[in-house]
Amino acid sequence: MRGTIEKDPNSELAFTIDWRSGGLLKHEQVVDDLGWTVQPVDDDPNCLRIIEQTLSTSCSRAVLAGGVAGQVYLLTCTVGTDMKRVLKQAAILRIAAASLTGDFHESD
């Protein structure tokens, strides 16, 4: 588990996993993108979604969009290596709650 990340529901967020710092053995390389998942998945059109994903020999990257304000999601990435191992990392992603708007009036 990689920790908790906060995302604004109205912006995109690029999230990268460097497998060298979390799982690859010496001289091992990532060769198969086994996918990114987001949970929970629901029918809300604003649900968090992966709009782009890329893979290199040591890094996985996903670009995330949307998300329901206040919702917490589990983001998981799974890859296969040239040593026939399967690696998985996850992060908790919280969508920032809508900010309060209005005028602030200081009382005397």
What's the CATH code, domain 4-95?
A: 2.60.40
- Give me the helices (H) in the chain, please: none
Q: For residue 11, what pLDDT band results from cuts at 50, 70 and 90?
A: very high
Q: Where are the domains of the chain?
A: 4-95
Assigned token pair, 12: 């995109």
- Do 48 and 71 contact (CB within 8 A), yes or no? yes
Q: Which structure tokens are listed for 18?
A: 């460097």
From residue 73, how far is each of 10, 11, 54, 82, 84 by CA, in Å? 16, 16, 21, 30, 29
What is the per-residue pLDDT across 32-78, written as a single tens digit (0 to 9) for each? 999 999 999 878 888 999 999 999 989 999 999 999 999 999 999 99
